[in-house]
Amino acid sequence: MENVKTDGLQKVLTEGRFISAITKTIGEKLRENKKCGSCAYAAACQGGCPALSMISSGGSMLSSDEYKCAFFFGGWYEKFCNVMGDWKNLNPIN
């Protein structure tokens, strides 16, 4: 693991695991995470929040954001749309 004290901040931020982790694209996440890649909500969710993925998985930014999964699979998207009344969803999921 990189160490700012011994490797220097510039090297850690430009060459280390940190930069590799934070520059992952949504496409990479959807390809590497089979659950997200095959999900019906993938286009809307886009793999969820990387920080929440790390929290719910114990450290992997490429894991599923279980909170976002609960939002979509728990029916909360539909509930949210229904509660908004006259609101027009310009990009509906279904």
Give the pTM.
0.70
Q: How would you class 29 by CB atoms within 10 Å of its CB: exposed for 0-12, middle for 13-18, buried for 19 or more?
A: buried
92, part of any domain: no
Structure letter (DSSP) for residue 60: -
91, part of any domain: no
**What is the pLDDT, as a whole number, of residue 79?**
92
79, part of any domain: yes
90, part of any domain: no
Block means of pLDDT (10 residues each) for the chain, length 94 residues?
A: 86 79 86 92 90 85 91 92 86 78
Give the integer Cα–Cα distance in Å for 51 and 66: 11
Range of the domain at 53: 4-83
Number of independent structural domains in the chain: 1
48, part of any domain: yes
